[in-house]
Chains A and B, each alone.
Chain A
């Protein structure tokens, strides 16, 4: 066998190994040298080589270098070069390496257990968050959002509250938001997720499309712009947004409810107010509310509640207020003598 040499080693004939063609050629040569190379891959290689004489030349040049490197085996200096890779590890190095490995393992554990990014807002506080992938989140008051892990910035969990997402598109990298039992899966869109304590999860889509999967992930709906879905104990319910271009209206300081339980409304109000509002019983919390309100006018809205619901407002003794049910058969408080 003749020693392999570079046929076109003169500069004017060599394809620049750092040119795009040179790099692709090197990729192919490396794939043959170190990876599985089934016939399908050979067909792709053949097509690439036939596409341009320059491709073939670049490939042959890279291949000749790879073959020459194999020729180091026969070289007199090869022993000294080849040994470090081939030689079994010297005995004294094993404890040192073990110690090094232990240190590396400790470091790895520290790195792995570093807390994933988490974002919290207090009552009344709204936060705009720029995620590392270019997506943006507007986090509503009294909400909590965290990434699944440091390494997966596009897998988020909305633990409570509400958030509006503007997702940066990344092909092959889905953006997911877990809220309670529901998962929202996105590829580039604008949408809102509301994780209420009492009424499951509500998703509103302003732009693009998202897929909502319920708890066991065997049911899924795809929401388009202007649609909304509620995932709760009864499953997934799809509806339409009141204004199709307005998901996450809370960002404009508006809250709107369509036949929502009073408990959910109260939970939302509490996210905006420093003065807690509670409900005397679960039954009162189940009263249904249809309303639209301005967050700035939340106090007035609360004061008006006894006019539309069989409840009255009472101080809770700790600076807050409590909504107490009144017997619907008895006349409301304001008519009392």
Chain B
């Protein structure tokens, strides 16, 4: 089965090359050290823990490929390994998931573009329109991003905190619950409400904060 499959390349494994840390196996440097992610013990721990989950997820979400889910997972872990310690802004798990999903989406877009270009029945204009969709895309993306910023700024504090802790720091709902001393179900519900507000706002082009729960310290 694909879950049991090991990576084809080993570049993302801790290499020990040019590293001041890799030599000392037992060093409990965890997340404290400098240097690249792939030179740290927590990197192989993440790798061991998340590899199967990520590959299985990519396969379920995007199908068997191409691109091959394992290849994309491989690239995502490679990027994590390349990060400097100080660059760590989110949990490694969230990082590899986010990067792998984006890689898949990018790959799909370029595939779609290539097939459009090769399609003989496509209007001639499409041939030199490579730049135009991107420009348009960038414009739309900018508009959407600024709307989203406004929406998030307008969220109640609890909703904004939990949402950003998950989105920017990649914290799991369990970790957020521990951090703020609330129940996991409250975190989950809060982020769900915040996401729903963002979804509605992007569809309707305007923010609507109805339906947000007000309890501040409910525990389950």
Name A's B-contacting residues (CB within 8 A): 1-6, 9, 11, 14, 17-18, 22, 26-27, 29-30, 32-39, 42-43, 45-46, 49, 59, 61-63, 65-73, 75, 77-78, 80-82, 84-86, 104
Contact = CB atoms under 8 A, between A and B. Distances in A.
B98 A34 contact: no
Interface stretch (B38-46, B123-131, B188-196): B188-196
B168 interface: yes
Given A67-B102, A82-B168, A37 B217 contact: no
Contacts of B140: 5, 9
B59 to A, nearest CB: 7
A79 to B, nearest CB: 11
Given A5-B141, A17-B199, A67-B102, A46 B59 contact: yes
Given A35-B172, A62-B199, A84-B161, A3 B141 contact: yes
Interface stretch (B19-27, B29-37, B149-157): B149-157
A70 B195 contact: no
Contact of A63 (B101, B137, B141, B188): B101
A2 B106 contact: yes
Contacts of B144: 5-6, 9, 68
A67 B101 contact: yes
Interface of B: 3, 52-53, 56-57, 59-61, 89, 94, 97-98, 101-103, 105-106, 109, 134, 137-138, 140-141, 144-145, 148-149, 152-153, 157, 160-161, 163-169, 171-174, 176, 187-188, 191-192, 195-196, 198-200, 202-204, 217
Contact of A70 (B56, B98, B105, B161): B98
A63 B109 CA distance: 16
Contacts of A62: 195, 199
Contact of B192 (A11, A26, A69, A70): A26
Given A14-B203, A33-B166, A84 B60 contact: no
Contact of B53 (A14, A42, A61): A42
A78 B153 CA distance: 10
Contacts of A2: 105-106, 109, 134, 137
Contact of B199 (A5, A27, A38, A61): A61
Nearest to B1: A39
B59 A77 contact: no
A42 B101 contact: no
Contacts of B195: 26, 29-30, 62, 65-66, 69
